[in-house]
Amino acid sequence: MDKKKVKDYMTYDVATVDVHGTVKDVIETIQKTRHDGFPVIDGKEVVGYISARDLLFVPATTPVERVMSTYLIVADPEMSINDAARVIFRSGIQKLPVVDEKNQLVGIISNSDVIRSQIEHVSPEKVFKFIDTLKKLYGVEPALKRENVAINELLPTQAKIYEDELEGRMYEIKKGLAEPLIVLRRPGRLILVDGHHRAIAAKRLGIDTLDAYIIEISENIELGMERTAKAMNLNTLDDIKVLDYARHPLVALTHRLVRHT
């Protein structure tokens, strides 16, 4: 449902610091740009990150390479904006350099970019967008209902979820704050369209049913998402893998060994 990617929201024109520069160069870049942190590059390759706090009590002639952070998390431009949000907010990072397959800088995604994407995300109605899609693709006239649905009867369409978000959904369910699932019902099948984290959270809490928007079609046709689920060997919620957020395949932890002389 959500196809927004990092490349759609990242800043392409990024102020950087050269690895062969000095703290004085960084200070001048801060004064010029009003930014408080920068990717450090060697040619075009990202080799570190330096922020204003790294400069405290450091002589102006100190090489950038000696004070920059060499452990950093970087993202791929094809990464989901939601996954980038997860990394940024859970790790406390304010800015995430975005690199290509050669570790060359192509942009930067910040917490404010993520917030902007989420504000835009809540404005469309997912349910009605999905109904419109069904109408166009299959020529059907779906009915919309609101009712509880049995968790164990759902066919998942998402192969993986993330542990940290799962914890958040469990908290919301306990507090009665969880949004309804979006479920497609056709003859003999309940297909989970949106709400995989909530469904697994409920299962972990021993809850058998959840509130859901039920989009119902009477035609007995196999939908594309069902074929995708079959290809991923998804039959029940137990087939969904729960991953740690930091192990997302489009997030990389980089480290450059710096030799001090």
The share of the chain scoring above pLDDT 90, in percent, equals: 58
- 261 in a domain, yes or no? no
**Integer angstrom CA distances of residue 184 from 3, 171, 181, 231, 259:** 20, 26, 10, 19, 58
How many CB atoms sit inside 10 A of residue 182's CB? 18
End-to-end CA distance of the chain: 53
Q: Rounded distance, CA 116 to CA 201, Å?
A: 27
In angstroms, the CA 237 to CA 152 distance is: 7
Residue 50 lies in a domain: yes
Cβ contacts of 173 within 8 Å, gap of 6 or more: 198, 201, 202, 205, 207
Instruction: Identify whether the C-beta of residue 169 lies closer than 8 Å to the C-beta of residue 242.
Output: no
Q: pLDDT for 152-183, tens place per residue?
A: 999 999 999 888 778 878 877 887 877 889 99
User: Is position 250 within any domain?
Assistant: no
Considering the domain architecture, whether residues 41 and 71 belong to the same structural domain is answered as: yes
* 209 vs 256, higher pLDDT: 209
Tell me: the pLDDT tens digits for 132-152? 999 999 999 999 999 999 999
* 257 within some domain: no
Given a contact cutoff of 8 angstroms between Cβ atoms, the answer to whether 70 and 255 are in contact is yes
Domain holding 114, by residue range, is 6-120
Question: Does residue 22 belong to any structural domain of this protein?
Answer: yes
Please check whether residues 79 and 149 belong to one and the same domain. Answer: no
* Cα Rg of the chain (Å, integer): 23
Confidence of residue 122 (pLDDT cuts 50, 70, 90): very low
CA dist., res. 46 & res. 189, Å (int) = 49
Mean pLDDT (whole number) for 46-56: 93
Q: Do 115 and 156 fall within a single domain? A: no
Residues 30 and 94 in one domain: yes
Give the number of other Cβ atoms within 10 Å of residue 29's Cβ: 18
21 and 81 belong to one structural domain: yes
